[in-house]
Amino acid sequence: MLGINKKSYERIGDNLMKSPHSLDIHAGWPVGLLTAVSLLFIGSFAHGETPTQASSVAELIAMFDSSSCRECHEQIYEQWEKSHHARPLMGMDDWIFMASYLKRGPLAIRTGEKATKVNFPCFKCHLPQIKHATDEVAAEIADAILKDDKPTVRKLNISCLVCHNEKAVVHGRPERNVVYGNKDIPDHQGYPVKKSPLLKNSLMCGQCHGLGPNLEFETPVQCATLYGSHLHAYIPSGGAQTCQGCHMKNADHYMPPDFNRRDELSARLRESLPMEVQTLAYTFQPVEDKLFPMVVVKTKITSKAGHRIPDG
């Protein structure tokens, strides 16, 4: 769950510890009632409920802020920074695509009302950490989107901690203050690294790269379906590579293709979708004085991908 960002955790912990106390002094609440209130809070921790929800965008950003990872994982950080995962709310050419959905159509904010998480089924994959935030945060994000506040929207991303904590475990909840990796490193600075069974598995990516329509929402949506194609077409026809095997060789976190780098994209597609063309020209002469030039063009496109292209 939540973040591993120690500071925000401690701050929230601090508040829980301090507020009844200060109330005690200032408002003079009866001690019995205070104890009951504290027990309620502690109870919800003990039952493994989400202990705290970010109540502002700044708090949500802090919970999943991964800028501290840069210091030691510089290369990976720079690869990630260039990837689509670093800007999941931006479409081509830095355009905030959710703006139009919030203005028109079934996800639009109703006149006179504020946005809530119901307006953002898209965040299941584009910003999964939203589940650790309140509806007020959704309203604040909607404001930032509608104001085209790019500096704020850019900070809402699929950060290191989204993949290495939130999405690294599927059986049970990820532990707080843990970074999941391929092996255990108890003395990893900041947060201990624990081995995740999932990190090398295509399912890790499949959690967001889509099986088909998402029918669990009030307004069902469909976006990415590529994982479905990987499971149902590529694997049954003998495919033997994982997403990571093709897209993350040597743990490269750039994870192309990048649709904003058109030349690089065309070069990649020429390589990954090779086209063979055979042609034969001849003349057709149905009667003695009529000549028709004819051509046979035979093309064959072979896909080297582990799924359909394009997706969507």
Binders of ligand HEC among residues 194 to 233 (CB under 6 A) are 199-200, 202, 204-210, 214, 221, 223-224, 226-227, 230
Interface with ligand HEC, residue 124, by CB under 6 A: yes
For residue 248, give the 3-state DSSP assignment.
coil
Q: Which is nearer to ligand HEC, 112 or 312 (CB)?
A: 312
Our finding on whether 311 is near ligand HEC (CB under 6 A) is: yes
Is 246 one of the binding residues for ligand HEC (CB under 6 A)?
yes
DSSP 238: T
Applying the rule CB under 6 A, the residues between 262 and 291 that interact with ligand HEC are: 268-269, 272
Q: Identify whether the C-beta of residue 191 lies closer than 8 Å to the C-beta of residue 177.
A: yes
72 counts as binding ligand HEC under rule CB under 6 A: yes
Contact criterion met (CB below 8 Å) for 122 and 221: yes
Whether 215 contacts 239, CB under 8 Å: no
Cβ proximity to ligand HEC: between 21 and 270 the closer is 270
For position 255 contacting ligand HEC by CB under 6 A, the verdict is: yes
Residue type, 208: C
From 16-24, 28-36, 109-117, 187-195, span contacting ligand HEC (CB under 6 A) = 187-195
Q: Which residues contact 307 (CB under 8 A, 6 or more apart)?
A: 226, 227, 229, 230, 233, 234
Which of 10, 71, 148, 184 is close enough to bind ligand HEC by CB under 6 A? 71
User: Of 88, 262, 238, which Cα lies nearest the Cα of 159?
Assistant: 88
Token reading at 80:
């990630």
Query: Which of 80, 102, 174, 178 contacts ligand HEC by CB under 6 A?
Result: 80
